[in-house]
Structure 1
Amino acid sequence: MKKIVVFLMILMLSTFFTTLSIGHNGEIKNLIPRNINYPEFIPIPGELPEDFQVPDKQSISYGNLPYYNIEIQSSDGEIIELIEQLDVEMLLGYLENLTSFGPRVTGTEECSVAADYIYSEFEDVGFDVRFHNWEYYGYSDRNVEATFPGVDVTSDEIYIICGHYDSVPGSPGADDDASGVATLMAIGEIFSNYSFNHTIRFVAFSGEEQGLLGSHVYAEEAALNEDNIVAVLNADMTGYAITEVHGNNVRVFEDDFSVWITDFMDDVAVQYNDYIRLNVVPSGYTWGSDHYSFWENGYCAIFAHEYEFNPYWHTPSDTIDNMNLTYFEKTSRLLLASLAELAQMGVDNSEPNPPSIVGPAIGKPEVSYNYTFTAVDIDDDRIYYYVDWGDGQFTDWAGPFDSGEGVTIDHLWIEKGEYSIRAKSKDTHNQESNWETFKVNIPREKVIVRTIYLENILKLFNRFINLNRLFTLINL
């Protein structure tokens, strides 16, 4: 009888954790994963208060989310160069340091020292780092945010990779979730030597184990600031595998609006299979980690998680020794390559020179005139030209043309007056030059009449001179 009761209790717990998921409007609903017939376990925070409820925030309409169709753009060589730098040795260094502080329970000295360490490491590689202080649900602590600005000055896109550095009491939290934080720190170290078109934020949250508290405040503030966060990659428990099947697969949890990120990561895994060797397994919807805070605020986010759930989760045995570091390297490499492709690798680049402007400085109304614009790019990038004709008309980024190759554009002015042609150039990295100005006079009628009058006087004067010469000759 006792065996039957234990079996029923295990069955009930398994069913509960397999199906529990909170929808956008806060109701409990069944998990319906894509391409998984028998999901075994859905992770949830470990120290949820008894009265905790996932907040229901509907300040942003999900119907307003844009549809993203981002394609792999970087050259294989560039991404492979990044991937090959991320190895077990680098990851292990961060893991050992993070777990050396002991259990990192939100609000404790150990958690604070861990935050200082994360801050210092990101600061050392040259990122803009800040502590994001938060108070929520009776707790207070700090998130750590490191920002790596993009080189494309026309882009306001932000891509986030995140994990949580807190753990439950009594657990060193190696896999949960020093693994995720070690991943984003290793990626940050590698990325710091390169440039990317779009801004990347590396964020380590606290308060995850108490119910996603740190990320809740962070994502809510980002939405209020109207931050253009395009995608969030949340890494939480990515280092456990005991069989070949486990080691060749990684789960990616998603909502309907974030499926495109999962599909993108799958494309990346295929593109760089020789260096990653992982299958991306779309795993449906769960609220159990910090990605959910971004879903609640209208942002697209995924949750990367090991294929086989770590049985040492939330115990003193969640140690590095019980992780599979080879598998951990593979999941970290997938996240690195996906983030690099999303943020798009840039180059050290200088803007082109302002274009020279050659053409007539005086003309007539309703007559078309040609003007030639020529700029040189010291990086020999191809060039686009933008022209403001001064009369409310514009030529919008004509090109691209080779550096030093001029482009000739015709224009006519309807009204008489003085106009300033303004032109600037940009290269293929969207780096823009300063403006160059060229003044054009389309004279008023009284100026034209006066000019004609003077021309007639000169003609009469010349005739008078010629007649005077004739009379002189006759007198001779």
Structure 2
Amino acid sequence: MIDVKKTKRRLEQHLRALTVDIGERSVCYPDNLAMAADYIENFYREIGLPVEREPYDFRKQEVANIVAYAGERTNFIQNYIVGAHYDSVAGTVGADDNASAVAVQLETARELKKLFSKKLSRTRIKFVSFALEEPPAFGTRYMGSKVHARRCKKARESLDGMLCLEMVGYTCHEPGCQKYPFPLMFMDFPKIGNYIGIVGNLRSKPLTESLYRAFTKNPNLPVVKLTVPLGGYTLPSVGLSDHSSFWHQGYRAVMITDTAFYRNPYYHKVSDTMEKLDFDFMAELVRSLIIFFEEKS
């Protein structure tokens, strides 16, 4: 079991590095985007995971997904991706969106490295930090997740699931602070934002259910699940992240999220800074992810 207090301190260190030391990580600041990529790559090297770059060009600028591997590298029987985009929207340092997810991604990798050093596993987990997700790349073939999903499909890579970490650090505790899109606002969902959400399409329902069962074993992190029909077309907002790139390639994928602008009033604003985040919440998410992968290994 992980040391939650130590994990919390490490998460804070990642947020400080990404949002204070580096700052805005949009395509408007290519040097900052490159520094974020270096930070992520160097972290994986420091904890002893194999890591590589997946470079591609965007508007005559080279960017790169960072791909690290935990568990069995080649002779695996299960294969998962844990993804998070490391860019921010222009004009903000993007603490919740999406440095919170990158920090959870990195600390989950650290804990799985320790876990797999103690027990033999036939599971491979790819940690993919996506270069671009925000505008102007959003919705285009230049999204880092679209680049990686296409390459997975071209290589005929079999995936048991893609876990997209998208804004995972904000909580609110006043009744009514948690909002929902139509028609979910009329359903029996929590009115306070103290939970982590798992969202998947119908194809991904087995993955959603498996994650949900594992997450409920952590009593310190409430969890809510949602399966959307018709590929999410009836609820367009549920497709606004990197998991949808994998849906479009026919893979099972879910978004793990604090629900973004349905909870966080600082979404895409200059005020999206690290002091707004709930680091205990984020540390418990790392614990829940480890519970899931420990069961799968």
Verify the 8 A CA contact 1:249 1:281 in the aligned structure 2. no
Q: Report deviation, 1:151.
A: 7.5
For 1:113-136, what per-residue CA distance to the aligned partner results, in whole angstroms no more than 9, with x for missing partners? 110010000011111111111235
Verify the 8 A CA contact 1:94 1:186 in the aligned structure 2. no
- Which position in structure 1 is the counterpart of 2:150? 220
Q: Which runs of 4+ in 1 moved over 4 A?
A: 83-86, 136-140
Is residue 2:236 matched to residue 1:260?
Answer: no
Is residue 2:10 matched to residue 1:90?
Answer: yes
For this pair of structures, how many residues does the alignment match?
260
Is residue 2:233 matched to residue 1:306?
Answer: no
- Which position in structure 2 is the counterpart of 1:269? 215
Q: Report deviation, 1:336.
A: 3.0
> AA paired with 2:247?
W
- Which position in structure 2 is the counterpart of 1:278? 222
Is residue 2:151 matched to residue 1:199?
Answer: no
- Which position in structure 2 is the counterpart of 1:359? none
Verify the 8 A CA contact 2:163 2:256 in the aligned structure 1. yes
- Which position in structure 1 is the counterpart of 2:186? none
- Which position in structure 2 is the counterpart of 1:453? none
Matching of residues 51-450 of structure 1 within 5 Å: 81-82=1-2, 84=4, 87-99=7-19, 100-106=21-27, 108-135=30-57, 140-150=62-72, 153=75, 155-195=76-116, 196-209=121-134, 210-211=137-138, 213-243=143-173, 246-270=192-216, 272-274=217-219, 276-282=220-226, 284=228, 285=232, 286-307=238-259, 308-342=262-296, 344=297
Verify the 8 A CA contact 1:171 1:317 in the aligned structure 2. yes
Change (3 A) 1:183 1:290: same
Verify the 8 A CA contact 1:164 1:205 in the aligned structure 2. yes
SS at match of 2:114: coil
Distance 2:284 2:192 in 1: 12
Q: Report deviation, 1:186.
A: 0.5
Change (3 A) 1:229 1:83: farther
Q: Percent identity?
A: 27
Q: TM-score, normalised by structure 2?
A: 0.80
RMSD value, Cα: 2.2
Q: Which runs of 5+ in 2 are unaligned?
A: 175-190, 233-237
- Which position in structure 1 is the counterpart of 2:235? none
Higher helix proportion: 2
Indicate the structure (1 or 2) with the bigger Cα radius of gyration. 1
Distance 1:318 1:237 in 2: 11
Q: Report deviation, 1:140.
A: 4.3
Q: Report deviation, 1:305.
A: 1.0
- Which position in structure 1 is the counterpart of 2:178? none
Distance 1:295 1:122 in 2: 27
Verify the 8 A CA contact 1:240 1:306 in the aligned structure 2. yes
Verify the 8 A CA contact 2:132 2:138 in the aligned structure 1. yes
Change (3 A) 1:283 1:90: farther
Q: Report deviation, 1:94.
A: 1.2
Q: Report deviation, 1:292.
A: 0.8
SS at match of 2:160: strand
Q: Report deviation, 1:338.
A: 2.2
SS at match of 2:89: coil
Q: Report deviation, 1:158.
A: 1.5
> AA paired with 2:144?
G
Verify the 8 A CA contact 1:87 1:329 in the aligned structure 2. yes
Q: Report deviation, 1:219.
A: 0.6
The structure showing larger relative contact order (alpha-carbon pairs under 8 Å, at least 6 residues apart) is 2
